[in-house]
Structure 1
Amino acid sequence: MRIDKFLKNSRIIKRRTVAKKACEQGKVLINEKKAKPGDSIQVSDKITINFGNGSKAFEVLKVKDNVAKSGASDLYKILD
C-alpha cells in the first residue's frame, strides 16, 4: 500500500493530499529513509513523521484498504 494512503486510512493524517504534501516536503520517513508519496509500506515498517516541534514514530501492524474509524488505530503502534 502507498504511504500516503496508509496515513489517511490509519487516521494518522486526516487527508491524503496532506499526507502527500508531507511526503513531498521530506517530513515522512520509512525505516529512516525519506518517503515519496507512492512508496510502498509493509507490516513491521517504521514510519516517522517530523512535525514543526517534534516527531512521532509508528510501527505498521496491519495493511488494509478499507478500515472503519474505530479500527484505524489497530493498523499501527506508537513507538515514542
Structure 2
Amino acid sequence: MTAAQNTNSVRIDKWLWAARFFKTRALASKACDLGRIHSNEIEAKPARDVRAGDMLRIKNEGGEFHIEVLQLSEIRGPAAVAQTLYRETEASKEQRQREAAERKAMQQYAPLPERRPSKRDRRRIIQFRTSR
C-alpha cells in the first residue's frame, strides 16, 4: 500500500497527473489556476484535496470530462491502472464522441493550406491556441 492510499485525500493536481489527464503536474496545476477544473461544481485550486466519491469536471485538449473519483493515487502508473482511478459519466462519453464526430466532419470542408506555415504564422497559431 502506498502512502497515498493510507490517507483519505490527495492534492487535486497530483491526482490529475496520476490519472493521466495531464502529462505533467505543472500542466495540471496550471489548468486549476485557469479555472478548467471543478470539484463538486466549485472551481478547484491546485492544493485542493480530492477524495473518493468527488465529482470532477475537467477541461483539457481531449475535451470536457465529467468523472467520479473512485480511488486515490499520488503515483503515476500505467494507463490501465490510471483508468481504474475514475469513472466517466455516460453523458460525458456521449458528448465527447459527438464533438469528435463533428470535428471530423468539419475537417472535410476545411480548405487545405497552400503552403507550410511560416515562422510568423506558427507564432500566431500558437498564440491563438493558448488564448482560449
**TM-score, with length taken from structure 1:** 0.89
- Rounded Cα–Cα distance in structure 1 between residues aligned with 2:72 and 2:35: 22
Greater helix share, 1 or 2? 2
Give the alignment's Cα RMSD to 1 decimal: 1.5
Following TM superposition, where does structure 1 have runs of at least 4 consecutive aligned residues deviating by more than 4 angstroms?
A: none
- Letter aligned with residue 58 of structure 1: I
1:64 deviates by 2.0
Pair 43,51 (structure 1): closer, same or farther in 2 beyond 3 Å: same
1:51 deviates by 4.5
Structure with greater Cα Rg: 2
Residue of structure 2 in register with 1:28 after alignment: 37
- Rounded Cα–Cα distance in structure 2 between residues aligned with 1:57 and 1:15: 20
CA contact (8 A) 2:17 2:24 kept: yes
Percent identity for Structure 1 against Structure 2 = 34
3-state SS of 2:71 partner: coil
Match of 2:72 among 63, 66, 69: 63
Kindly provide the CA deviation profile for residues 36-64 of structure 1, in whole angstroms up to 9, marking residues without a partner as x: 00000000101101347x52111100002
- Letter aligned with residue 68 of structure 1: G
Residue of structure 2 in register with 1:11 after alignment: 20
Unmatched segments (≥5 aa) in structure 2:
1-9, 93-132
- Rounded Cα–Cα distance in structure 1 between residues aligned with 2:73 and 2:60: 25
Greater strand share, 1 or 2? 1
Unmatched segments (≥5 aa) in structure 1:
none
**Is 2:79 the counterpart of 1:76?**
no
Residue of structure 2 in register with 1:42 after alignment: 51
Aligned residue pairs, count: 79
